[in-house]
Chain A
Amino acid sequence: DAKTTQPTSMDCAEGRAANLPCNHSTISGNEYVYWYRQIHSQGPQYIIHGLKNNETNEMASLIITEDRKSSTLILPHATLRDTAVYYCIAGAVQGAQKLVFGQGTRLTINP
């Protein structure tokens, strides 16, 4: 699995868009980009994943650069409940995949 690099922490004002960057410069062609978040000590929660194209769901948008070496998770209107650790993971979709979690970005939404 490709290594990912994320900022250790970020702050965002409530109601604003939170943009979380992730670098995955060694990502290979068959590796997806996954985003999960963990609120306090709860189980991690799947947010979104993508391969090449930008993706959007009810939780967030995922923007992947054309060279696929980086991506940005966008929470369009952050709320206090979005305060969590956000993990960006690059993993292949073949056979027995195991997601390898890094240290993630601790996002704090401020009132």
Chain B
Amino acid sequence: DSGVTQTPKHLITATGQRVTLRCSPRSGDLSVYWYQQSLDQGLQFLIQYYNGEERAKGNILERFSAQQFPDLHSELNLSSLELGDSALYFCASSVWPDGTGGYGYTFGSGTRLTVV
């Protein structure tokens, strides 16, 4: 157990639907990162939050949005889902916004999203 909790572990939904993925960071970590991993794309950085504020953005689609709440958990919202959105979605956390502190990022076990 890495200390980063992601729910749900698996999600199957239809095209056009909206889903919410949840991430609880490791205790004491203020920064949360979201990554998408498709079979043919590798790990793609989506977005980072630090202590409730957005700090960095990657190639995140406009149909996707995220937020970090006062208790530091984060949610990734995916809407108007397409078949190509099927992927593993990982959340990671770190103490500092730059990922240092000796441990780098700690990743969760991911949410496997299947769009049918």
Cβ contacts A38-76/B at 8 Å (1 or 0 each): 100111111001000000000000000000000000000
Residues of A within 8 A of B (CB): 32, 34, 36, 38, 41-46, 49, 87, 91-104
CB under 8 Å from chain A, chain B span 47-91: 48, 50, 55-56, 58, 88, 90
Residues of B within 8 A of A (CB): 2, 4, 33, 35, 42-43, 45, 48, 50, 55-56, 58, 88, 90, 92, 97-100, 103-110, 112
Q: Assess whether A99 is in contact with B105, with CB atoms less than 8 Å apart.
A: yes
Q: Assess whether B48 is in contact with A98, with CB atoms less than 8 Å apart.
A: yes
What 3 A-B pairs are tightest by C-beta distance, nearest first? A43-B107, A96-B55, A46-B104
B45 touches which one: A45, A95, A100 (CB < 8 A)? A100
A101 to B105 CA separation, bound complex (whole angstroms): 12
Q: Assess whether B50 is in contact with A96, with CB atoms less than 8 Å apart.
A: yes
Q: Assess whether B90 is in contact with A96, with CB atoms less than 8 Å apart.
A: no
Chain A residue at minimal CB-CB distance from B102:
A49
Most central of B43, B58, B100 by chain A CB within 10 Å: B43
Q: Assess whether A101 is in contact with B99, with CB atoms less than 8 Å apart.
A: no
B98 touches which one: A45, A46, A97, A100 (CB < 8 A)? A97
B103 to A: closest C-beta gap in Å: 6
Q: Assess whether A95 is in contact with B42, with CB atoms less than 8 Å apart.
A: no
B104 touches which one: A38, A43, A49, A92 (CB < 8 A)? A49
Q: Assess whether A96 is in contact with B109, with CB atoms less than 8 Å apart.
A: no
